[in-house]
């Protein structure tokens, strides 16, 4: 898959997307959006792919939405284009996506990472929502998703002061799932994605859907949803295989059926 602003490649059962605008610290412009959506769509449609990883460079996962692209926009243009709405499409991906973050994940970069299913951070990672320093506020989900990840007090602190948070603080407050040495970041993220991709794809997709549901509904509704989905899993060959493999003390051979 050839793209202008990303490199999309497969590593076994994993689709790897590397942001590739080094001169702009991977700032997210409309071409990056189009390229990422195109690659994700292709990986979603590829039955050999079970999970994806989105990463950037050692210096920057992404330093935000492209300030130079938005600088001269008028209100009417932003409104009519429903500026940034396209990124929501990424959250509709049904296969898991891991964000592997080294260096700066600022503004839209932090928001892109939060749109993924979980974040693995290099010890060099720095997260922030510095939009306030530009005279605006987060526009790709930061005011909502960051608050759900880290709670109101820390989200207010980040959004209102524009300060950055290092990897240790991000792990402490639940923004990232784990920290790894910067040199191992992509390998560790690929390892995690490969592990997911070896499980039953329908079970993985249902589990992702159920966890995401917890963001959108009450506990009682979420629990009902979980139970229904759990019951439906007994229709999967992979449930029979997974439990038989446990009983027979052997490795399961999932067939995604």
Q: Which residues, in sequence order, are CB contacts of 104 under 8 Å at separation 6+? A: 25, 59, 60, 61, 62, 63, 126, 128, 164
Per the annotation, the verdict on 65 as an active-site residue is: yes
Let me know how many helices (H) and strands (E) the chain has, helices first. Answer: 11, 10
DSSP per residue, 125-155? -EEE-GGGGGT----SSIIIIIHHHH-HHHH
Chosen residue from 6, 8, 17, 27 binding ligand CO8 by CB under 6 A = 27
Find the shortest distance in angstroms from Cβ 161 to ligand CO8. 13
Per the annotation, the verdict on 222 as an active-site residue is: no
Find the shortest distance in angstroms from Cβ 154 to ligand CO8. 18
Q: Which of residues 93-112 bind ligand CO8 (CB under 6 A)?
A: 104, 106-108
The answer to whether the beta carbons of residues 203 and 238 sit under 8 Å apart is yes
**Residue 86 binds to ligand CO8 (criterion: CB under 6 A):** no
Find the shortest distance in angstroms from Cβ 198 to ligand CO8. 35
The answer to whether the beta carbons of residues 39 and 86 sit under 8 Å apart is no
Length of the chain in residues, anyone? 257
Chosen residue from 54, 65, 105, 193 binding ligand CO8 by CB under 6 A = 65
Chosen residue from 17, 25, 51, 102 binding ligand CO8 by CB under 6 A = 25
Chosen residue from 56, 64, 141, 202 binding ligand CO8 by CB under 6 A = 64
Q: Which residues bind ligand CO8 (CB under 6 A)?
A: 24-25, 27, 63-68, 78, 83, 104, 106-108, 130-131, 134, 136, 138-139
């Amino acid at each position: 898959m050839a793209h202008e602003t990303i490199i999309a490649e497969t590593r076994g059962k994993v689709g790897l997307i590397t942001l590739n605008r080094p001169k702009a610290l991977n700032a997210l412009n409309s071409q990056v959006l189009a390229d990422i959506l195109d690659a994700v769509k292709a990986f979603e449609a590829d039955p050999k792919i079970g999970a994806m990883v989105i990463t950037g460079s050692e210096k920057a996962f992404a330093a935000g939405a492209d300030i130079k692209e938005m600088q001269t926009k008028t209100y009417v243009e932003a409104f009519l284009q429903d500026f940034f709405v396209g990124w929501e499409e990424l959250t509709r991906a049904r296969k898991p996506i891991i964000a592997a973050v080294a260096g700066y994940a600022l503004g839209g970069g932090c928001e892109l990472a939060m749109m993924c299913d979980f974040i693995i951070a290099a010890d060099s990672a720095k997260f922030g929502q510095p939009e306030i320093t530009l005279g605006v506020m987060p526009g790709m989900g930061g005011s909502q998703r960051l608050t759900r990840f880290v709670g109101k007090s820390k989200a207010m602190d980040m959004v209102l002061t524009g300060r950055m948070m290092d990897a240790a603080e991000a792990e402490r407050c639940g923004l990232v799932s784990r920290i790894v040495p910067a040199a191992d970041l992509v390998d560790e993220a690929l390892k995690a994605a490969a592990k997911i991709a070896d499980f039953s794809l329908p079970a993985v997709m249902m589990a992702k859907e159920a966890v995401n549901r917890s963001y959108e509904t009450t506990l009682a509704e979420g629990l009902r949803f979980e139970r229904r989905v759990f019951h439906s899993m007994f229709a999967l060959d992979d449930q029979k295989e997974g439990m038989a493999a446990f009983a027979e003390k052997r490795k399961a051979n999932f067939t995604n059926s």
